[in-house]
A and B are shown apart, each in its own frame.
Chain A
Amino acid sequence: MAYSRRTGRSRFTLFLLVLSSLTLLAVDLPGTGPLKPVRRAFGVVFSPFRSAGNSVFKPVADGWHGMFGYGDLKKENARLRSQLEKNTSDQARLKQLQLQNDELRKIAGVKAGTDQTVTAQVTSGRLSSFDRTIEIDQGSGQGIKKGMAVITEGGLIGKVSRVSGGSSTVTLLTEPTFDVGVKVPRTQDQGIAHGQGQGRPLLIEDGIPAKAQVKRGDDIFTSGTDRSFYPPGLLIGKVTKVATSSDGTALVVTVEPSADLSSISYVKVVLREPPA
């Protein structure tokens, strides 16, 4: 008798708590944010614990990367050295082209005004295996709005998916929910690239016709046209594979992001208003 009463009570507890979770989900899922103040308040309460933990555990995390990242570092070093040599020659060519470009712009009367950016530091990486975002230390106070593009020297890394006063959440471009309009400058083809998950390349499945001359090694940039959230001409990555879609009407292009997404410490947010 006592046993069944106890089981009955636990079932009731379970029912209540599951119901509460579902209610929270229903309220929070549309992303309209009635629970935003609660999140923010909890973030504030938790932040001293977080900074204390950070100062204690940072050496451990650094040691971990030192231990398991050594092989990668050696490989990366070799790759960077070879790249450096190539860059030096590119640089000279770039300078020349820059001069030419300036001349042409003057003639055409085009405003060279590029979008303003805000530099931000990454304050936390992914918190769990299913977390696909990073946090940065600049927010609406610095003019950042939801949807803005986030870049590093390597190119586009993602977009702002949530903003608060002094921090923002950035969704990385490899995430399956991420779409961006892209362009292959060499062939002028345009399409839409989407993420396929952490550690996997982007895929362009829409927009590039099967007869297009896109090939391996082509650079891919943001198109910045239509209602794109991104300014045109941000580097995204290089084409690593080109195939024809199953119905034979389009090219399926695989794009390896050029920015290193595994270790990001500083980013820039492009202050360009997303279309309303």
Chain B
Amino acid sequence: MTQARVAACIVIALVLQVCLFSRLPIAGARADVPLLLGIAAGFVAGADKGAAVGFASGVAFDLLLPTPLGLSALTYTVVGYAAGALGGSVIRAAWWIPVVTAATASAAGVVLYALVGEVLGQATLSGVSLTAIVAVVAAVNAVLAPVAVWAMRWSLVDDTAGRRYSPR
């Protein structure tokens, strides 16, 4: 069931990205919703689930993009892992913590994507300014963070406790 729910979340994220957010450019920059799923999973369930969900949503997004397959997957995996690893060291109670985590991790994700893309000859650093992309992706993902966190709590199961994650 867990996998099916994660898959449903990925499909919804892709539909939002492709049909909605890709059509709402701000200064030429577009939001990156699939990136948010791995971050939310890491935040809710820790580094390994963050990496796994990030990988899955990255591969799915890659399949729709003309860029080399694996570029988003690689970035989202690392960012999901990092969100989980860092998130685990924070005592979470305030509502704004997922929001800040999502914004920071998204910004880092965009920069990582651009750097890896540039290394792979995708010329990701020319064109729309990286600052604009970082700002737009971080802002949109910060706003959507509570929804994504809720979706991941709904999807993922805590293996040790054998039940879904509850809000902390």
Contacts and interface: CB of A to CB of B under 8 A. Distances in A.
Interface string B17-54: 11110111100111010000000000000111001101
Contact of A132 (B18, B25, B113, B127): B127
Contacts of A198: 28, 127-128
Interface stretch (B70-78, B94-102, B141-149, B150-158): B70-78
Interface in B81-124: 81, 84-85, 110, 113-114, 117, 120, 122-124
Contacts of A171: 66
Interface residues of A, number: 58
A53 B16 contact: yes
A43 B63 contact: yes
Interface residues of B, number: 58
B64 A42 contact: yes
Contacts of B114: 130
Interface in A158-193: 161-162, 169, 171, 174-177
Given A17-B52, A25-B69, A177 B123 contact: yes
B41 to A, nearest CB: 12
B123 A20 contact: no
B120 A50 contact: no
Nearest to A49: B15
Interface of A: 6-7, 9-10, 13-14, 17-18, 20-29, 35, 38-39, 42-43, 46, 49-50, 52-54, 56-58, 60-61, 64, 124-133, 161-162, 169, 171, 174-177, 196-200
Closest 9 CB pairs of A and B: A24-B70, A53-B19, A197-B127, A61-B23, A21-B74, A25-B70, A197-B126, A10-B48, A53-B15
